[in-house]
Structure 1
């Protein structure tokens, strides 16, 4: 089974190693999708949605929401944000019955990245 939880945050960034309009300061309403792969445990759940929300909020959303992402990630492309999120969540979400499967980071409704470690 694949468990899916979506999050949203607003943040600004500029791409310092890029030549084009995105090298200038700008912002996005990002969509973050966290997916876990596993089997239901003795409670019948792959992972508790409430616990997942709390973990992602503490480790990612509280840091990224209304932040200047360049203060956190040197070159905050969607790709690098996805790697950061993966690294911040992988160990803490690992259980006997499940593990982090995939992270999606969407900068716009039509542009995003999928990362699987």
Structure 2
């Protein structure tokens, strides 16, 4: 099974190694989708949605929400943001019955990235 939880955060960035309008400072309301693969535990859950929300808030949203992402990631493309968030969450979400399967980052309603980690990470 794969458990899914969505989050939103607002942040600004600019792409310094890019030539085009996105090299200028601008912002997005990002959608973050976290997917956990696993089997239900003795309580019938892969992971409690409340616990997952707290972990994502503490590990990611407190850093990213209303931030200038360039201060966290030098070239904050959607690809680099997804990889960074995956790496921040992977160890803290690892359990006997589940692991972080993938992270999606959506900059707009129709532009996003999926990151599933490096080969052998799961």
Q: TM-score, normalised by structure 2?
A: 0.95
Indicate the RMSD between aligned Cα atoms, in angstroms: 0.3
Gaps of 5+ in 2: 118-122
The runs of 4+ residues in structure 1 deviating greater than 2 Å are: none
CA offsets, 1:12-51, max 9 Å, x none? 0000000000000000000000000000000100001000
What is the DSSP-based 3-state SS (H/G/I as helix, E as strand, rest coil) of the residue aligned with 2:63? helix
- Count of residue pairs the alignment pairs up: 117
Asked if 1:98 corresponds to 2:98, the answer is yes
1:45 corresponds to which residue?
Answer: 45
Q: TM-score, normalised by structure 1?
A: 0.99
Asked if 1:7 corresponds to 2:7, the answer is yes
Cα separation, 2, equivalents of 1:104 and 1:86: 9
Gaps of 5+ in 1: none
